[in-house]
Amino acid sequence: MSRVTIAPEEDRLNAQIAFAIEIDKLKRIIRRNHLIDGSRRENTAEHSWYVGTLAMVLGEHAPPETDLQRVVAMLLVHDLVEIDAGDTFIYDPVEVAAQAEAETAAAERIFGLLPDDQAGRLRQLWDEFEAMETPEAKFAKALDRFAPILANHHTEGGTWPLFKVRAGQVREKIRIIEEGSPSLGAYARELVELSVARGHLSE
């Protein structure tokens, strides 16, 4: 009985397609914050697209010599782990405490679906984002933190009053934005103070 021989390139394509099918699940992960028009909550795939686009539009606010193509790539993959780990609410200490272990396990599984060379490349981007040591990772993390503040400000506080988030908690998170982009950090602080003044964020 003859055996069917699968060419290496076919194995590679099958792995890539398996990954493509798997990451489609990111569209069903619902985040807590709303779209800027307030019509509904956003999903994580939308968030990833949004912050990746912001990296191109707001790139002039990145540290000098930042590789913006790497930032965009990082932002496109940074939340794929939420397929397994779910969206972590950054103001919930219990969720935050469990985040690293859950997301690392997710990264192993999801990126591991790819051929080894691609798995290593995408996993490296994810690890770099999490470590937040390079200018690219710091700017990517700044945009990741900036987007929800922008949305909440334009939806009369959005998730802030809903989950009883205080202004001091938001100001603490802005430090990450300032580290990646002082100008965006300053803008985020202005939004927070405006939200407080309008009664949309409580002290």
Identify the structural domains of the chain with CATH numbers, from first to last.
9-197 (1.10.3210.10)
Structure-token pair, residue 121: 């490349």
Q: pTM here?
A: 0.92
- Burial of residue 11 (CB within 10 Å: 0-12, 13-18, 19+) is exposed
Q: pLDDT tens, position by position, for the chain (203 residues)?
A: 445 455 578 899 999 999 999 999 999 999 999 999 999 999 999 999 999 999 999 999 999 999 999 999 999 999 999 999 999 988 888 999 999 999 999 999 999 999 999 999 999 999 999 999 999 999 999 999 999 999 999 999 999 998 999 999 999 999 999 999 999 999 999 999 999 999 999 99
Check: CB of residue 70 under 8 Å from CB of residue 136: yes
